[in-house]
Structures are given as structure tokens and as C-alpha cells.
Amino acid sequence: MQVKNLSKAETEYGWMVNTGRDDFDGLYGDAAITAVIDELISINKGERKLNWKIRPWLISRQRYWGTPIPIIHCDECGTVPVPEKDLPVELPRDIVFGKGNPLETSSEFMQVKCPTCGKDARRETDTMDTFVDSSWYFLRFTDAKNNEQCFSEDLANHWMNVDFYCGGIEHAQMHLIYARFWTKALRDLGLHSIDEPFNELFCQGMVNKSAPYCESCSITLSVDHAGMPCPQCGDALSMRSAKMSKSLGNTVSPEEMIEKYGADTVRLFILFAANPTAGMDWSDVALEANYRVMLQLRTMPEILLNWGDTASAIDEWLVARLKQRVAEFNTAMANYDLRRAVEISHYELIKDINWYTRRGGDNSTVGRTVLESWTYLISVSTPHLAEEWGRCLGLEHMVSASEMKDVGSVSNQEKNILDYEFIMRVVLENSRKVKGIAEKHLQSKAEKLTLIISPEWKNTLSREALPI
């Protein structure tokens, strides 16, 4: 085949053919690679190497922010390390920012004596990559006031590993690589005996907001270009979700949002907008919707505590429902499913209250029981509102400084009550749909009538549900 006739390059694994060796022909992928390596080793033409897929790391930088490299350059002695008694080397203050390396503008920093021969020498002006000094802070935290060592080996071994690490997705690709590298490097130097720095990693998603985007150029532009053509190709720009950044200008001022809606509302919106690990799109409309929910929640203590004193069968359902919701909430929190937890505490419990009153519930004793536990559920995401509820309940201590009482688990009898009410809700919803369809068809002439006879218990249930 002529090269000019090739339509594309094959980059995936393939079969070995026409190698001139019967033991190679017909091998595929990894098997072929292994056979070739084994042959090269057998004839002393090569050796097997493990590819860690780690790129070479040049740690020196020509910039001010970074750890100074403790090296002195002497014409007589060559490269000389800074004596340990003179460590750490601190960054100078008398520098001028502009072109080139800022440290070279400080003559006091650069001009030093050689520690070996005492002659004039020059200090190294490159600094280390910031990942060098930001990749072992967790080890320093175990012994932060130690002025003699970076940290005590005994204290590091006692407090490490970090139980739970939460950070942005960029941490998984950059910071954690260096953090793990330094942990293992310092271990190999005998400074501690920890193998892995973090037991559990949780990466939260990015907050996005729309920004102008050019399909032809595949570039995202700052919001200043909204409504304008692409400056490179002249095509019309569309709006596309992009990570919030100062350069794009698609940011939101938290101070303004908190001033307008309150910190609880902003926090509730962020938690409910998406799962913690997923990216979320900022929406002013959704923020407004959460604000309305907060206004509704503020009225709940007054409503529940001012119910009457009428006991009814539906009271047992609401108490059982509370136990069920608390269990669901705890499960969601344990799984870091914060969106589901917020959905339970701020949305679904409102629906439960509405169903309770719709079914004739009017018992302030039950209302207080529900509110006492509900207060602690909302405190996770809306602590200010929870303290207001606590004051309405007359709690002795602040909600944030106390714990929720154990509501217990759902009993078998309560499960039956929950199942019954679930069926009632389904029947009610379907009955209303049927009623709506029937009323709609009354406006036109019926062409066909079909009678479906159901068991008596279904008819009884439907008759009970229709008046609700």
C-alpha cells in the first residue's frame, strides 16, 4: 500500500504480521509486546522497564513566590549548599517586580560569602515550584510549633493518615500527585513511616456560569463579548456553561447574594443545585426559588405549634414518617449525598406536613415532636433558620451546641401505616386524574364506553380517597 493512499494512522493495538518470525506472527497487543521484550532480554539487547507515567518535574522557577533553593554559587568551590545553621533561607523584601527574575533585583539577597572559602559568591535566585512547599503541610500540622525540625517523626506517625480529604477535582490530578510523592519521599528519607497521606478522597465539582463561546474556534470568551461576534473569526457567539473565573468575568459576588437573600438561602441553593461531586450551573432563578422555600420554612414553627389538640389516626403516620425521614437523612449524610439530605430536610418534610393536614391532622403535640427533630435536620445546611426554630421551641441550648434526641426506628406496625398512606396517595392522585379525564370528556359526545370491574377493596379505597 502506498503511503499517500493512507486515510488515517492506526493508533490502537494490532496483530503482528510479516515479522519474519513464526513465534511473533499472529500475536496481538500486550502479548506481542511481552514476546518482543522477552526476546530482546534473551539476546542482551534490552531490558524490561516499568513505566510509571510520571512526567519529569523541573522544580525551579524564576519567580518570587516559592521556596528559595538553598544553594550558593562560588567561582572557587562551585555549587555549595547553604549551611544548616543558616536555614531556612527567607525571601527578601527589597525586590522590584517587572521583567525577569524578581530575586535578581535584590543585591543584598544575591551577594553572599561562600560558606567554604569565604570569598564573594552568588546566591541561587531560582525558587522551587510552589508544590514543593504546599505538598506536605499535613505533616507539618502534626507538629506546627517545632522550631528544630520540619516535624517530629513520632507525632507524624501518631496523627497521620488524614482521615478525610475534600478538595476540587484539580487536586486529584495535580496536588495529590505531589502530596503522595512527598509523603513517600520523606518516608524513604526516614522522617516518618507513613505510606499514603490520605485515607479517603472526596472531590467536589466546579461552580459554572454561562459565558460567550465560539463553536468555530472552540474558545470561551469573557462576558464582555456577549452579544458581539467572535473577535477571531467573526461568527456569532453562543452562551455556554463555563467554570467561574475572574478572567471570564462570569463570577457572582457572594456578598451581594448574601445581602439580598441571606447566607442560609445561598447555602441551601448551592447544596440543592447538584450533588457535591458534580458541577453546578449558577442560576438566579433557582436561587429565587430557594428563597421562597426559606420564607415558607420560617412559618413552620408558628403553624405546627398552633395546631389544635385533636388526636387522629393520621398522627401515627406523621410520627412514623418522621422516623423514616430521619433515617433517610442520616443515610444520605453518611454517603455524602448532600443534595438528597437537603431535599429531605427542606422539601419533602414540607410535603409530609401538607399531606398530614390534608388528611385532617391537627395535633400540636405531634407538631412539636416533629419540629424538635426537624430543627436539627435543617441545621446542617441552614443553621441560622434552625436557631430561630430552636428559639420558638424554647430550647435550653443553641441547636449548634446540642444534639437531636433519638427518634428510634420504624416499627413493623408503623411500616404498615406508612404503606397504607402511600397507597392512599397513589389512589388519590390516580383518582383525580380519572376525574379530570371524565370531566374533560363530558364536554364532547362519548363514542365508546368501557366498564372495568375491580375488586371491592379497590372501590372502597377510591371512594375514601376522592373526597380528600
- The domain ranges of the chain are 7-42, 60-131, 134-204, 207-251, 257-410, 413-465
Question: 257-410: which CATH topology?
Answer: Isoleucyl-tRNA Synthetase; Domain 1 (1.10.730)
Q: What pLDDT band is residue 227 in, cutting at 50, 70 and 90? A: confident
Burial 64-99, CB ≥16 within 10 A → b, else e: bebbbbbebbbeeeeebebeeeeeebebbeeeeeee
Which DSSP helix (H) or strand (E) runs through 114? none
pLDDT at site 314: 94
Cα separations in angstroms, 140 against 149, 233, 325, 394: 10, 52, 42, 44
pLDDT at site 467: 62
Candidate from 16-20, 202-206, 237-241 with smallest mean pLDDT: 202-206
136 burial via Cβ count (<10 Å: 0-12, 13-18, 19+) = buried
Q: What is the pLDDT of residues 140-187, one digit of tens each?
A: 999 999 988 999 999 999 999 999 998 877 666 678 888 999 999 999
Cα–Cα distance measured from residue 136 to residue 452, given in angstroms and rounded to the nearest whole number: 73
Burial 281-320, CB ≥16 within 10 A → b, else e: ebeeeebeebbebbeebeebbeebeebeeeeeebbbbbbb
Q: Does residue 468 carry a pLDDT above 60?
A: no
Q: What are phi and psi of 311, to 5 degrees?
A: -85, 140
**In the beta sheet, which residues pair with residue 198?**
162
Cα separations in angstroms, 448 against 310, 441, 444, 451: 47, 11, 12, 10
Q: What pLDDT band is residue 1 in, cutting at 50, 70 and 90? A: very low
List the strands of the sheet with 120-123, edge to edge: 78-81, 71-74, 120-123, 111-113
What does pTM read for this prediction?
0.68
Q: What is the pLDDT of residues 342-355, one digit of tens each?
A: 999 999 999 999 99
Q: Does residue 416 carry a pLDDT above 70?
A: yes
For the chain, what is the total number of helices (H) and then of strands (E)? Answer: 18, 14
For 148, the 3-state DSSP assignment is coil
pLDDT at site 443: 67
17 with 28: CB under 8 angstroms? no
Q: Does residue 2 carry a pLDDT above 80?
A: no
Q: What is the pLDDT of residues 80-137, one digit of tens each?
A: 999 999 998 999 999 999 888 999 999 999 999 999 999 999 999 999 988 888 899 9
Q: What is the pLDDT of residues 214-225, one digit of tens each?
A: 988 888 888 888
Cα separations in angstroms, 189 against 62, 149, 182, 193: 28, 14, 10, 10
126 with 100: CB under 8 angstroms? no
**Percentage above 70 pLDDT, the chain:** 91
Q: What are phi and psi of 243, to 5 degrees?
A: -60, 135
**In the beta sheet, which residues pair with residue 203?**
167
Q: Which residue has the higher pLDDT, 297 or 279?
A: 297
Q: What is the pLDDT of residues 7-27, one digit of tens each?
A: 777 778 888 888 888 889 989
Using alpha carbons only, how large is the chain's radius of gyration in Å? Answer: 34
Per-residue three-class SS string for 24-79: CCCCEHHHHHHHHHHHHHHCCCCCCCCCCCCCCCCCEECCCCCCECCEEEECCCEE
Q: What are phi and psi of 103, to 5 degrees?
A: -65, -25
385 with 375: CB under 8 angstroms? no
Cα–Cα distance measured from residue 388 to residue 298, given in angstroms and rounded to the nearest whole number: 8
Q: What pLDDT band is residue 441 in, cutting at 50, 70 and 90? A: low
For 381, the 3-state DSSP assignment is coil
Q: Does residue 442 carry a pLDDT above 60?
A: yes
pLDDT at site 121: 97
pLDDT, mean of residues 354-358: 94
pLDDT at site 429: 75
Q: Does residue 206 carry a pLDDT above 60?
A: yes
Cα–Cα distance measured from residue 410 to residue 322, given in angstroms and rounded to the nearest whole number: 9
Q: Which residue has the higher pLDDT, 233 or 72?
A: 72
Q: Residue 15 gets which letter from DSSP?
A: B
28 burial via Cβ count (<10 Å: 0-12, 13-18, 19+) = exposed
pLDDT, mean of residues 433-458: 68
Cell of 258: 448574601
Q: What pLDDT band is residue 464 in, cutting at 50, 70 and 90? A: low
71 with 81: CB under 8 angstroms? yes
Assign residue 376 a region (left: φ > 0; alpha: ψ between -120 and 50; beta: otherwise). alpha
Q: Does residue 409 carry a pLDDT above 50?
A: yes
Candidate from 30-34, 194-198, 329-333, 432-436 with smallest mean pLDDT: 432-436
Q: Which residue has the cell 539577597?
A: 109
Going by their DSSP bridges, the two strands 165-168 and 201-204 should be labelled as parallel
